[in-house]
Amino acid sequence: MKIDTRKIPDEGITLVEEFSPAKLDLDTGIIKFSGPIKAKAVVAKSYSAVSVNLALEAPMVITCSRCLEEINTGFNRQLELHYAVDKLEPVINLDPDIREEIILNYQINPLCGIDCKGLCAKCGGNLNNGSCSCKSK
Ligand SMILES: [Zn+2]
Ligand SMILES: [Zn+2]
């Protein structure tokens, strides 16, 4: 997502963009998206600075770190970014900040639920689906 500071009117501007996670180099296998990232930027400009109120939304697939089930979830984040107006480089590229925000807010050990029972250490059965036969012995 790019913002041309020369094209921001005095009253500000709202930009909406949808882009592929691959464009941000985010489809790494650890973070999996199931659709495009939607970004809405409310941009305001003062004499020397640009402030961006950015809302990010993306469908995401996470793998539970206990039971290894894949869960469809969503990434939702609102953040405020500030940039200095640089006459030599009037176009601001938001992609590095968007990428960082997503990585920083990604849960390292996600769970399908706080009460996830995980997998049986013996048979590997998913204990959320009921106790496995190991227990009845
Ligand atoms: Zn789980
Ligand atoms: Zn078992």
Give the pLDDT confidence of 101-115 residue by residue, as tens digits: 988 888 778 899 999
Distance of CA 70 from the midpoint of ligand 2 (Å) = 20
Ligand nearest, relative to CA of residue 117: 1
Three-state DSSP string of 3-58: EEHHHCCCCCEEEEEEECHHHHCCCCCCCEECCCEEEEEEEEECCCEEEEEEEEEE
Distance from the alpha carbon of residue 132 to the mean position of ligand 2, in angstroms: 5
Q: How far is the CA of 33 from the centre of ligand 2 (A)?
A: 32
Q: Which ligand is nearest to the CA of 116?
A: 1
Would you say 105 and 59 are in contact if contact means Cβ atoms under 8 Å apart?
A: no
Q: What is the pTM of this model?
A: 0.79
Which ligand sits closest to the CA of 69? 1
Which ligand minimizes its atom distance to the CA of 137?
A: 2
84: amino acid identity, one letter: A
Contact indicator for 15, 5 with CB cutoff of 8 Å: no
- From the CA of 109, the nearest ligand is 1
Cα Rg, the chain, nearest whole Å: 21
pLDDT in tens, 49-95: 999 999 999 998 888 999 999 989 899 999 999 999 988 999 999 99
pLDDT reported for residue 29: 60
* Distance between Cα 125 and ligand 1 center (Å): 12
More confident residue, 28 or 10: 10
Residue range 112-129: average pLDDT?
93
Residue 25 has pLDDT above 90, yes or no: no
